[in-house]
Amino acid sequence: MTNIILCGGSGTRLWPMSRSLMPKQFVQIFEGESLFQKTIDRNSKICDKIFIVSNEEHYFLALDQIEESKDIVIDFRFLLESIAKNTAPAIALACMSLESEEIVLITPSDHLIKDQNRYKEAVDRACELASEDYLVTFGIEPTYPEIGFGYIKADGENVLSFKEKPTIEVAKEYLSEGNYYWNSGMFAFRVGYFLDELKKYSPKIYETSLSAFEKSDKSEMIRIKRDDMELIPEDSIDYALLEKSSRVKVVRSSFGWSDVGSFDSLSSELENDSNNNLVIANKEVALIDVEDLIVVDTEDALLISKKGSSQKVKSIVNSLKQRGSLLPIVHKCVHRPWGTYTVLEDCAGFKIKKIEVKPGKRLSLQKHFHRNEHWIVVSGTATVEVGGEKKYICPNESTYIKMGEAHRLANEGKIPVVLIEAQVGEYTGEDDIVRLEDDFKRA
């Protein structure tokens, strides 16, 4: 069995902790582990192979976290999307690279499951049904009237209908009736049967996905080209297939599941203070005579919300995006395939960064049209190439790169290279980078 992990979510409802370039599945908030790492660990115990479908911007982030999980030994494979097109195309593209008889377990990368034994029992039953050519979904037994989830109406294991996110009154009715389940977004089926059903009920998605897959780069991982992704209709597997097919089963599940989709749901998984306040911060936060609050403090943004209102965070993110703010996209510390950079100061005419380059890694050979750069090494030994000339820069030494000059920074040593970069120019945006060569095949 292959576990296909869908890793494209942006986690906007967990802003400012989660950002587009560091979405919630990669935030290491669970005793130093991320939801992505927990998903890998959980499914590596019951699957033979893992297939990760990811946005290409998150590929190296996922790779780093897999490498951190040194106890996990399993075959990994990646499919990289240039554009997110929802779950139906993502699953179809992954399945097109697998044998038709393979059973696949489809899971999001950002869910929390606490009871491994019950989880395995549910997966085993789903595999039995999948081997009989059913499309299987996992229905979570609801414990309260949740308005943030879709619901599945069932008669035993037979799916009667899928329901949209309800009002609180309707959610209470579902709970009292007793044959409604939260739609978990997890599935199991045989590859060949899934593709046949997709071709039957959503032929446009099937045909454009197949064309995109056939034209993809399959050298190191499967990389779908942007022009081909743009032609694929965007749709969820629920709308594209499950609501249309007559062969859908549900496995009723109770294995300590949470989609951690809001700070309210996260609050039930993390320690709260004596007044039921959830505080996530890297500094001391003192609260006086307040209760039932969510306080999330990052280096560049502060969120304070009453519990029960955290679903509204998404509207704040939308407002920031409309204003052109970068706050929904990046933290001050930005992860790159070669390491990280942290913006220390960003003013008109200059920007100051702390850059850390991992051992054995190097930045792209690049140039800028609007800024000069000064590099001061703090620790490690940097290999610097400027204008075709290579030299080594040791701690407390510096170099200067003129505007328009081709340059590259590398770490050939055994410890991280840390340096301070001062950019001076009329424009210091990240898009003023012309990559001439790149080890990571970025544009």
**Model confidence pLDDT, tens digit, residues 301-360:** 999 999 989 889 999 999 999 999 989 998 999 999 999 999 999 999 999 999 999 999
Query: 170: Cβ–Cβ under 8 A, 6 or more apart, which residues?
Result: none
Banded pLDDT at 300 (limits 50, 70, 90):
very high
User: Could you tell me if 111 and 202 lie in one domain?
Assistant: yes
Indicate the residue among 322, 343, 362 that finishes a domain: 322
User: Could you tell me if 282 and 389 lie in one domain?
Assistant: no
Look at residue 350 in the predicted model and tell me its pLDDT.
95
C-alpha to C-alpha distance for 10 and 280, rounded to whole angstroms: 19
Full residue range of the structural domain in which residue 311 is found: 264-322
Q: How many domains does the chain have?
A: 3
User: Could you tell me if 171 and 37 lie in one domain?
Assistant: yes
What is the DSSP code string of 16-66?
Answer: TT-BTTB-GGG---BTTB-HHHHHHHHHHTT-SEEEEEEEGGGHHHHHHHH
What does pLDDT average to over the chain? Answer: 93
**Model confidence pLDDT, tens digit, residues 238-282:** 999 999 999 999 999 999 999 998 999 999 999 999 999 999 998
The answer to whether position 442 is within a domain reads no
User: Could you tell me if 369 and 229 lie in one domain?
Assistant: no
Which CATH number characterizes residue 15's domain?
3.90.550.10
Please report, rounded to a whole number, the percentage of residues in the chain having pLDDT higher than 90.
Answer: 83
Does residue 67 have a pLDDT over 90?
no
The answer to whether position 443 is within a domain reads no
User: Could you tell me if 290 and 342 lie in one domain?
Assistant: no
Structure tokens at 77: 């494979």
C-alpha to C-alpha distance for 177 and 159, rounded to whole angstroms: 15
C-alpha to C-alpha distance for 176 and 372, rounded to whole angstroms: 66
Characterize the bridge pairing of strands 382-386 and 434-437: unpaired
**C-alpha to C-alpha distances, 261 to 58, 65, 89, 141, 266, nearest whole angstrom:** 19, 21, 22, 17, 8
Crossing angle for the helix pair 87-95 and 191-201, nearest 10 degrees? 130
Indicate the residue among 208, 241, 258 that finishes a domain: 258
Q: Which of 9, 24, 6, 5 is nearest to 263 (CA)?
A: 24
Indicate the residue among 258, 285, 314 that finishes a domain: 258
The answer to whether position 105 is within a domain reads yes
Look at residue 222 in the predicted model and tell me its pLDDT.
94
Query: 298: Cβ–Cβ under 8 A, 6 or more apart, which residues?
Result: 16, 17, 282, 331
User: Could you tell me if 167 and 293 lie in one domain?
Assistant: no
**Model confidence pLDDT, tens digit, residues 134-166:** 999 999 999 999 888 899 999 999 999 999 999
The answer to whether position 170 is within a domain reads yes
**Model confidence pLDDT, tens digit, residues 405-418:** 999 999 999 999 99
**Model confidence pLDDT, tens digit, residues 113-134:** 999 999 999 999 999 999 999 9
C-alpha to C-alpha distance for 387 and 407, rounded to whole angstroms: 6
Contact criterion met (CB below 8 Å) for 38 and 68: no
User: Could you tell me if 45 and 155 lie in one domain?
Assistant: yes
Look at residue 379 in the predicted model and tell me its pLDDT.
96
> Strands, DSSP E only, in 145-193?
151-155, 158-163, 180-190
Contact criterion met (CB below 8 Å) for 78 and 54: yes
Does residue 10 have a pLDDT over 80?
no
Look at residue 93 in the predicted model and tell me its pLDDT.
97
User: Could you tell me if 278 and 214 lie in one domain?
Assistant: no
User: Could you tell me if 188 and 305 lie in one domain?
Assistant: no
Angle at 438 between CA 22 and CA 226, to 5 degrees: 65
Look at residue 68 in the predicted model and tell me its pLDDT.
85
Q: Which of 397, 391, 360, 358 is nearest to 377 (CA)?
A: 397
User: Could you tell me if 308 and 372 lie in one domain?
Assistant: no
User: Could you tell me if 65 and 119 lie in one domain?
Assistant: yes
Look at residue 81 in the predicted model and tell me its pLDDT.
93
Look at residue 110 in the predicted model and tell me its pLDDT.
93
User: Could you tell me if 39 and 179 lie in one domain?
Assistant: yes
Does residue 71 have a pLDDT over 80?
no
**Model confidence pLDDT, tens digit, residues 381-395:** 999 999 989 999 999
Which CATH number characterizes residue 375's domain?
2.60.120.10
